Chain A
Amino acid sequence: MHNPCKNEGLLSAFLDGELSEADTLALRRHLQSCDVCAQQLAEMAAADEAIHEMETIEPSADFERSFWRKVARWEKQQETRGWARFLRPTWRPALAAGVAAGLVAGVFILAGPGQGVSPDDRFVAENIEFLNDYELIRNLEILENWDALEAMKERS
């Protein structure tokens, strides 16, 4: 319908309660005497009513469960990303230094004192006082260098 008053914008704002008090009063007065505007306002209100009367739906049985599954998936991703941030370029030098320090420490621990001790040496160390009574142990140095001593003897 053509509105000769060209009031549609005002009518819309009036319907939404967005006009000033003065404009509202003026439009109310106009509506009492203008059938075209009154008809247009009624049609606009009916369009709003059609939206209000649209069917409303209830959440499906799976709606909530499905939502929390999505939340759980996102939280898991966040956790993974938390670790993955250490692989970002800015962290790479620190990460490389850490790995290198770990390797050095590992080598040191594996090859350090205690790891290379044979069971025989450990037995001797633990029982040295007892073994000191034996001739063999007292002359252990001579026995260990026996070959050298033999060679010296032959030369002389």
Chain B
Amino acid sequence: MLNFKAGDPRAFHDLFERYKKRVINYCFRFCGHRAIAEELAQETFLRVYKAAQRYRPKARFSTWLYKIATNVCLNEMRKPAYRRRLEALDEALDNEVHASATMDSFRPIHPDDQLLWQEQQQLVHRAIDRLPKKQRAALLLRVAGEFSYAEIAKQIHRPESHVKTLIHRGRMRLKAALAAYFGEKNA
């Protein structure tokens, strides 16, 4: 980032290449929709690009990047149009076959297993979607982003003790919401 700030455009390309998939998937876990996740990831990188001249390396670059991504996701969720768009996309998704050549996850091969897997995926997305915003942010930063409590505290502007509580509560809620998922998985 410092190289980009100093005027090397290749440095931004390198950062973009290195982090684009991680940021898209972080946003995807946040909102549960590919199209929205890509828009949020683009907005994140655009903000990084715009803020390059103001960048001060106070923490790891990834801490700063995920902080921006989290803000972008939370801001988007506050917009009234977001919920409407999410519902419209949910409806469209229910009507379409979940086949995408670009998905690289461990999708089962057998059709029955695929169906179960898709249902489980939706269940997890919905469980995350029901978490209060700050709990969701803290839990995803911890589990998906693998940041420490101290880093998360900086990212969401909360004391570390509060971060600990948010993660714990989010985890307990998720655990309760996924009881059905664990039942099916272990069946």
Contact = CB atoms under 8 A, between A and B. Distances in A.
A55 B125 CA distance: 10
B66 interface: no
B171 A44 contact: yes
A43 B182 contact: yes
A86 interface: no
A57 B124 contact: no
Contacts, number: 111
A13 interface: yes
B179 to A, nearest CB: 9
Interface string A46-90: 111011111111111101101100110010000000000000000
Interface stretch (B72-80, B82-90, B161-169): B161-169
B168 A57 contact: no
Interface string B32-64: 001001100110011001100000000000000
Contacts of B41: 59, 63
A51 B164 contact: no
A51 B20 contact: no
7 contacts: A51-B140, A54-B29, A56-B21, A57-B24, A57-B34, A60-B38, A64-B16
Q: Which 6 A-B pairs have the closest CB atoms?
A: A55-B105, A12-B168, A58-B102, A47-B175, A47-B174, A51-B143
